[in-house]
Each structure stands twice: as C-alpha cells, then as structure tokens.
Amino acid sequence: QAEDGNIEYKLKLVNPSQYRFEHLVTQMKWRLQEGRGEAVYQIGVEDNGLLVGLSEEEMRASLKTLRRMAEKVGADITVLREREVDYDSDVPRKITEVLVRKVPDNQQFLDLRVAVLGNVDSGKSTLLGVLTQGELDNGRGRARLNLFRHLHEIQSGRTSSISFEILGFNSKGEVVNYSDSRTAEEICESSSKMITFIDLAGHHKYLKTTIFGLTSYCPDFAMLVVSANTGIAGTTREHLGLAMALKVPFFIVISKVDLCSKATVERTVKQLERILKQPGCNKLPLLVNSDDDAVTAAQQFAQSPNITPIFTLSSVSGENLDLLKVFLNILPPLTNSKEQEELMQQLTEFQVDEIYTVPEVGTVVGGTLSSGICREGENLVVGPTDDGKFLRLKVCSIQRNRSACRVLRAGQAATLALGSFDRSLLRKGMVMVSPEMNPTICSVFEAEIVLLFHATTFRKGFQVTVHVGNVRQTAIVEKIHGKDKLRTGEKAVVCFRFIKHPEYLKIGAKLLFREGVTKGIGHVTDLQAITTKENGLEESLGPGQLSF
C-alpha cells in the first residue's frame, strides 16, 4: 500500500484500544488531507494487498469503529461496495470499500472541472441538463433549455458559447442539484464536492470557442459524448484528438441508447474501442455496466491516464444515469494537496478568460488563478496592453461558483470585481499578476511543433491562429529552423511573431494552432522578452491608475 495517496488498506478494526484508536484517527486525518477531503478505506485487505475478507460480525464491528473515527474527525462515510472473497473457510467472507468524505477545515470544497466534448447533436447539453436539474428529458430537448445563453441557441438548439453548470455531492455521496436547491449558493453550501461542467460547442463552425474552452479553463477531465445512433461522426475524432493533444484525461459517454437496439449500441461501443486501441491513442477501454465497475473505473482512471471508462446511458429513460453519478462522486482530484500548496507559495497570477460589466458593481473579470493566492482588496497589475504596458488595479470582491469568497487559492476558477476600472482596457488573454513579479512579455517566440494536417507545405510567411492557454491571436511564421518547409506529420522548431500585440507566455506552455484545415500542436521553447522596465513609470492616466 502506498504511504501517500488517499487509499488505506485495513484488515480489521474490531474494538481498538484507546491508544490505537487515536492512532487510527490521526492516520485518517492524513489520508483525508492527501485526498483533499476524501479518502477510501478498503476493509478486509492486508497491507500487501492480499484480499483476506472478514466474517459478517467482524465486518459490522469494523464499520462501527470506522464510523466512530469519522465522527471524531467530522467526516461522513458511505459504503461504496461489498464483495465476497473465496478464502479457505466455511463462513462467507467479505471485503468492503468505504468512502470517507469531509468538508475541509477551510470550507473549500473539492472542485473538479469537466469539459464536455462531442459532435453536434450528440446530446451534451441535454445530459448536463438532466444531471444538474435532476429531471429526465422529454426526448425533444426540454432539459437543455436552462443551459443556453443566447436566443439563437434556443432557436437552433445548438450551443455556440461556453456555459458552466454545477453538480454537487454532499459528504454522504448524494447528488445535490437544482431539483432540491433553488440557487447555486444553496448547492455550494450543502456540497462537499463540486463538479463544474464546461459545456462546449459541438458544431464545426464554433471550433475556436471549443479550443478556447479546453485551453483556457484548464479542465481536470473531459467527457466525450457520442450518440449511440450516429456513432463516431463529424467533430468527434477532432475533439478526441484535442483532448489527447492537451493531455486531458477523458472518459466517454454513449448517449441516446433508448433510441436504438442493443446491437446498434454494441456496434458503437466496438467502433469506439477500435479507435481507442489504435497506436496513436493507446487507451484501454473499460465498459461500465454496474456500480462495481463504476467504482473501479473512477479509481483506476485517476491513477493511470491510459484507462478510458465508457458509459452507455439515456437522458430520456434515465438508464445507467446512476452509474455516471457514482463515477463522478468518487472521481478523485488530479493534484494532491502537496502540489497545490507549492503552487500557492508562488506569486499571484490570474488568467483573464471573460470580461463583463455588471450594473452597480462595475467591471468584472472571470478566469482561473494559476498560482499564488488572491485576496479581496489586493493590488495587482494587469496586462499586457496593446503597447506592452501593465496597468495597476485593485480587486474589490471575489465570487466563486456564484457565492462570495474572501480568498482564492491556486487552481480555482472565480470572478473578480474590479470596481470602476475601464473595461475597454481589458481583453481576453491578459494576466493579472502581483506587481513584484516583473512579468516577461513577448511578440516573437519559438515553439517545437508537430504539423498534424496541412493541405500543401507549411512555410515562412504563413499565418495561423495560435492558442496558448487563454491567449488567442494570429501569428506569422517568421522562420522554420533547419528546413525550408514542413509537410503533414513533420516536427520542427518554428519562430512565430504575433501580429497585433505582445502577450504574456511561459516556456513549456502547450500550444495549438489552426488555420482553415491546417492544424498543429507543440510547446513553447523560447521567448524573446520585451522588458517592461524600459518604459518606466509614465504620467498618471487618470484617478488612481498608473501604467508600468
């Protein structure tokens, strides 16, 4: 058994002494801290992983002790599954797996972000509507109406923007959604684990929005929705490729199984398994048919990214919907607490993904805090502007999942109110950093790329749209090192120059570029930094605004 991680093997916990009990409680606290508020106990298993099993009576006593331990640390426990083991004895022996969950001391619930991908009309928005509203669909798309943000989306039934939906699980592992809570605040208050679904567009013409959603909102996992009756069509392969290029672990949901026969569903599953086993993918498909499979899938999925769970469900009849809920409930976070603490010790850096103007609040920006800690009332600088400067601003208030929050920690998404700051100075792709960071910005950068697809040859002077994190801008190919031109499938280090304004980039950041049918992926290897010091402090732009 691993020392770190949040899975604990216990043979039995029958009537421990007081000293032993205290020791067990301390150990539980450690496991909960490792799993950021959740841990899995497997009872009836020796430390070396041997499945011994316990008799009915010993199991009851052990679970009672586990309940006492959980009460002591203020956690709840739920039995995930029980299994009989064949051990040389007349009495039937069982092993039990238990989920221990607790709202962390600082009231920060576990927050997982799941991007939802899939072809147009595969039922992405409907599935989210059913999960978050708690009522089944009528077969004509009633469930998804609450997710749409624009009138034209309601009329055409197609998602064109990025919308966020939340699903909560309380510490007993029950679903908390809009069926019993009125508002998002209520869901946040009663859940110890939140899953934010990022609903992306399936239609080909909205591909840039989908790429933006995948690169800038940094999802932990992706859910690829495939409709059972059409199978793998349209943008499905492309979305699968995007998830793999950005190294986002994904699982697959085959929807609309109520519309077609078993044979059709099986054909779609086989088609998917064939694609996943191809050399480019190297994934191991795992078809989920029971609660037991769902529990195994969730644990294996987080440990080895090569496993891809496949669910077959229907948003209309509700078939197998519970399996997906069980899976999402147990799905552990990717980073452990140690990695998050290391990020929090760095200087503040917030990516701006969306900008709004809210009446009586002023300018509001939405995005993700990639490192450090951000508090209310903090002074930060935002940039780069078109001429490469950074402007000072103050964070007035912070909201996370629509409820107010004082402190924002690394890796969390939130909206920050900036008061009377002029909205026209902001754009997507900017960063807000702490003033002492002295950020590096560049117009010219080099990246090692692989050309995935290109009609002719890719050469100097070619223009492409480059996506790096939340940055999205057209760039010109200045130079290809060591070659005159590139063809499909070739690798090279290429020098790009942004057309409009300098951007804040980091070495090692993942990069995607596209132009028509041309597509490529890679990572940033070198920046030609423009130092912000040269500009010096200029005259004040207005009341309380200075530019670097």
Q: Stretch 164-182: mean pLDDT, rounded?
A: 84
| Secondary structure element (H or E) that encloses residue 176, with its range | strand 175-176
Is 542 part of any domain? no
Q: Please list, residue by residue across 484-496, b when 16 or more beta carbons sit within 10 angstroms of its beta carbon and e when fewer do.
A: eebebebebbbbb
Mean pLDDT comparison of 111-115, 171-175, 513-517, highest-scoring range: 111-115
Are 484 and 395 in the same domain? no
Examine the domain organization and report whether 492 and 414 are in the same domain: no
Q: Which residues pair with 195 in a beta bridge?
A: 112, 167
Instruction: With respect to residue 373, please indicate whether it lies within any of the assigned structural domains.
Output: yes
Residues 198 and 284 placed together within one structural domain of the fold: yes
Q: Is residue 315 part of a domain?
A: yes
Residue 104, C-beta contacts closer than 8 angstroms, at least 6 positions apart: 36, 37
Q: Residue 541 above 50 pLDDT? A: no
Is residue 538 in a domain?
no
Q: Do 201 and 143 reside in the same domain of the chain?
A: yes
pLDDT of 542: 38
> What pLDDT is attached to residue 536?
40
pLDDT tens readout for residues 459-469: 899 999 999 98
Give 70-86 as a 3 state SS string. Answer: HHHHCCEEEEEEEEEEC
Task: Give mean pLDDT, residues 109-135.
Answer: 88
Q: At which of 307, 334, 361 does a domain end?
A: 334
pLDDT over 70 (residue 245): yes
- Do you know the residue count of the chain? 548
Is 90 exceeded by the pLDDT of residue 279?
Answer: no
What does the mean pLDDT of the chain come to? 86
Over the stretch 467-483, which tens digit does the pLDDT of each residue have?
A: 998 899 999 999 999 88
- The answer to whether position 363 is within a domain reads yes
- Report yes or no on 547 lying in a domain: no
pLDDT surpasses 60 at 539: no
Q: Which two tokens stand for residue 38?
A: 């959740």
Confidence at residue 433, expressed as pLDDT on a 0 to 100 scale: 93
* Of 402, 433, 464, the domain-final residue: 433
Task: Tell me, yes or no, whether 87 and 135 share the same domain.
Answer: no
Q: For the chain, percent helix, then strand, then coil, each to nearest 5?
A: 25, 35, 40
d(CA 51, CA 44): 7
**Six token digits for residue 71:** 């009460």
pLDDT at 261 over 70: yes
- pLDDT recorded at residue 443: 92
Sign for the CA dihedral angle at 486, 488, 491, 497 comes to: positive
Question: What pLDDT is recorded for position 108?
Answer: 66
Confidence at 534, pLDDT banded by 50, 70, 90: very low
What is the Cβ-side half-sphere exposure of residue 263, based on CA atoms within 13 angstroms?
0
Tokens of 286: 């795992």
Please give the average per-residue pLDDT across 386-396, as a whole number.
Answer: 90
Task: Answer yes or no: are the C-beta atoms of 195 and 163 closer than 8 Å.
Answer: no
**pLDDT on residue 380:** 93
In this prediction, residue 464 carries a pLDDT of 92
pTM to 2 decimals? Answer: 0.80
CATH number at residue 134: 3.40.50.300
Instruction: Give the pLDDT confidence score for residue 395 in this predicted structure.
Output: 93
Q: Determine the structural domain holding residue 449 and report its residue range.
A: 441-529
User: Where would I find the beta strands (DSSP E) of 86-124?
Assistant: 93-101, 110-118
pLDDT at 532 over 60: no
Q: Is residue 402 domain-shared with residue 516, that is, in the same domain?
A: no
Q: Is 330 helix (H, G, I), strand (E, B) or coil?
A: helix
Span of 79-93, 303-317, 504-518 with lowest mean pLDDT: 79-93
**In 426-517, beta strands by DSSP E:** 431-433, 441-453, 458-459, 463-468, 471-480, 485-486, 491-498, 503-504, 510-515
Residues 230, 263 within the same domain:
yes
- What CATH number does the domain containing 465 carry? 2.40.30.10
What angle, rounded to 10 degrees, do the helices at 236-245 and 207-216 form? 30
Is residue 466 domain-shared with residue 410, that is, in the same domain? Answer: no
Based on the domain organization, do 267 and 327 belong to the same domain? yes
pLDDT for residue 209 is more than 90: no
Final residue in a domain of this structure, among 318, 334, 350: 334
Question: Per-residue confidence at 439, pLDDT binned at 50, 70, 90?
Answer: confident
Question: pLDDT-based confidence at 153, cuts 50/70/90?
Answer: confident
Query: In this structure, are residues 426 and 353 in contact, taking their beta carbons and an 8 Å threshold?
Result: no
455 or 506: whose pLDDT is higher?
506
Closest among 492, 493, 494, 487 to 518, alpha carbons compared:
487
Check whether residue 135 and residue 246 sit in a common domain: yes
Residue 392: closest CA among 232, 544, 210: 544
Mean pLDDT score, 342-353: 90
Q: Which of 128-132, 150-154, 284-288, 488-492 is the most confident on average?
A: 284-288
User: What is the percent of the chain with per-residue pLDDT over 70, rounded to a whole number?
Assistant: 93
Averaged pLDDT for residues 114-122: 90
Q: What is the pLDDT of residue 143?
A: 77
Looking at per-residue pLDDT, the higher value among 533 and 484 belongs to: 484
Which CATH number covers residue 81?
3.30.110
Across 210-242, b (16+ Cβ under 10 Å) vs e yields: bbbbbbbbbbbbbbbbbbbebbbebbbebbbbb
Count of domains forming the chain:
4
Q: Are strands 284-288 and 307-312 parallel, antiparallel or unpaired?
A: parallel
pLDDT, residue 223, reads 95
Is 448 within the bounds of a domain? Answer: yes
Query: Is the bond preceding 384 in cis, omega lying within 30 degrees of 0?
Result: yes
Q: What percent of the chain has a predicted confidence (pLDDT) above 90?
A: 38
**Residue 289: what pLDDT?**
93
- Asked if residue 451 and residue 379 are part of one domain, the reply reads no
Bigger pLDDT: 495 or 333?
495
How much is the pLDDT for 19?
93
Tell me if 535 is assigned to some domain.
no
With a CB cutoff of 8 Å and minimum separation 6, the contacts of 79 are 63, 96, 97, 98
Residues 197 and 321 in one domain: yes
